[in-house]
Amino acid sequence: MQTMLFGSHVSAAGGVQNAPANATAVGCETNNIVTRSPRGGAAPKLTKEIVTAFKNECKKYGFTTCYVHTPYFINFASANTRVRQGSATIVRDELNRSSLLGVTALMTHLGSSKDFTIQKAQALVVAGLLKLLDGYTGTTKFLIEIAAGQGLILGAKFEEVALYITAVEKKNKKLKNKIGVCFDTCHAFASGYDLKTPQAVKKTLAHFDQTIGLDRLVLIHANDSKFDLGGKRDRHEHIGQGKIGAAGFRALVTNPKLKNVDFILETPKEGDADQKNLALLKSFRKK
């Protein structure tokens, strides 16, 4: 049975097989990587040797879960047909690559509605999700990541994410329960979902459950926020040092409804910051 594990986004420089050792060095119990440059370019080939080495390293260091983030340029609602269609193709490719590696889940952002009306943009997102998931038989779970609400970024509100999931499942019943959610604490807080106190956390999780469903929540990106509630700014801060604060993270870690949800840090990489942030999360779990 899975239990709550804490990890961080770690480097896979030189090959994904190097990530487990990098994760262990900072005290990770799980980890998050990218299998290709997040800025663009061709994906490095995952040879049989690389896949075997990655799995062996995960086993060696005791990792039972691992996560992958898609490239940052994904935009399912772009007016540029190449970008829009390419987004679906690349995310599907990343799902297949992640499945080869035995990765638990892959998360992606959805893009921006700047090129169209919100209704048209949302329709394009649904079309893109249907395309990328059609016929997918891999083992890696597909996750939509909650956005921070800056500008015209898509997927910042629980109701909007629920709309995508419901529409996809309605149009293709084979995709029922195939889409999960990655809840980024900084993004959700920036979008107006309070996480400062145990009461606020309980209320926000209840809202999430009513709209999306906590059964869809697969992963939490644990990031404090440099800006206050509803600031619509995606600026991560170290755990307990931002506007969410330690009490909010303690409430998340100790919430029984999240006991099987992993936490991944995307906090600033400064010296031994990962070790300190992970140690703090682990201390909350013990209380």
**Would you call 134 a catalytic residue per the annotation?**
no
Q: Judge whether 184 counts as a catalytic residue.
A: yes
The contacts of residue 286 (CB under 8 Å, 6+ apart) are: none
Residue with tokens 């906590």: 214
Catalytically annotated residue among 9, 69, 92, 216: 69
* Ordered DSSP codes for 128-187: HHHHHHTT---SSEEEEEPP---TTBS--SHHHHHHHHHHHHHH-GGGTT-EEEEEEHHH
Residue tagged active-site, from 57, 184, 237, 274? 184
Annotated active-site residue 266? The verdict is: yes
- Pick the catalytic residue from 94, 234, 262, 274: 234
Catalytic residue, chosen from 136, 194, 266, 285, is 266
Residue 222 pairs in a beta bridge with 265
Q: Which of 9, 36, 187, 250 is catalytic?
A: 187
State the Cα–Cα distance between residues 34 and 98, nearest whole angstrom.
Answer: 10
For the chain, how far is it from start to end, CA to CA, in angstroms?
Answer: 21
- The yes-or-no answer on residue 221 being catalytic is yes
Q: Confirm whether 109 is a catalytic residue.
A: yes
Active site residue 209: no
The half-sphere exposure of 155 on its side-chain side, counting CA atoms within 13 A, is: 26
Q: Which of 57, 94, 145, 160 is catalytic?
A: 145
Specify whether 224 is catalytic: no
Token pair belonging to 268: 């600033």
Please count the other Cβ atoms lying within 10 Å of the Cβ belonging to residue 187: 27
The rounded distance, in Å, linking the Cα atoms of 265 and 239 is: 9
The answer to whether 216 is a known catalytic residue is no
Tell me whether residue 57 is one of the annotated catalytic residues. Answer: no
Give the active site residue among 9, 92, 221, 238.
221
Find where tokens 């600031």 sit: 231
214 DSSP 8-state letter = G
Catalytic-role residue among 72, 134, 159, 215: 72
> Considering 92, 109, 238, 250, which one is annotated as catalytic?
109
Of these residues, 236, 237, 250, 262, which one is catalytic?
A: 236
Catalytic annotation, residues: 39, 69, 72, 109, 145, 184, 187, 221, 234, 236, 266
